């Protein structure tokens, strides 16, 4: 089983897609790394040799991945909140940060609709 950056890669997937299971590695980064190392992106993860796995580990060690990346993102958000910036305020309130409309959409960010004092909404 291929274990890279503390993550077990899915065995049945292609290497190019399997690498995206690591936080901080997207499809473009995975492709660049595989081309640089000369590994066929269509090869299945279970077919990787120990040498290829070692090369992947060494190459991906140069990137900020998984826990370190998550910690960095959380620290950036915390810094924005402490400074009192508009983006920090939006993070704190649980609202969209990048200027999206909030009148009708953004349910993912705001959560389930809340009624006023648990009363039914009057229909017109």
Domains in the chain, CATH or no CATH each: 3-60 (1.10.8.50), 67-118 (4.10.910.10)
Question: What local confidence, expressed as pLDDT, does residue 102 receive?
Answer: 87
Rg of the chain (C-alpha set)? 21
Say if pTM beats, i.e. exceeds, 0.85: no
Question: What local confidence, expressed as pLDDT, does residue 123 receive?
Answer: 63
Question: What local confidence, expressed as pLDDT, does residue 48 receive?
Answer: 85
- Positive or negative, the CA dihedral 21, 23, 28, 29 is negative
Cα separations in angstroms, 79 against 34, 46, 85, 92, 117: 35, 42, 9, 12, 35
C-alpha 114/C-alpha 111 separation (Å) is 9
C-alpha 50/C-alpha 9 separation (Å) is 14
Which parts of the chain have pLDDT scores under 50? none
């Amino acid at each position: 089983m291929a274990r890279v950056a503390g993550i077990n890669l899915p065995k049945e997937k292609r290497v190019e897609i399997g690498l995206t299971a690591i936080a901080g590695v997207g499809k473009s980064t995975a492709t660049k790394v595989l081309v640089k190392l000369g590994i066929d992106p269509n090869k299945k993860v279970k077919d990787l040799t120990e040498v290829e796995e070692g090369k992947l580990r060494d190459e991906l060690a140069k990137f900020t991945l998984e826990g370190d990346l998550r910690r960095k993102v959380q620290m950036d958000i915390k810094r924005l909140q402490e400074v009192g910036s508009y983006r920090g305020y939006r993070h704190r309130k649980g609202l969209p940060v990048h200027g999206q409309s909030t009148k009708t959409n953004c349910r993912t960010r705001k959560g389930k609709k809340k009624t006023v004092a648990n009363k039914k909404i009057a229909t017109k």
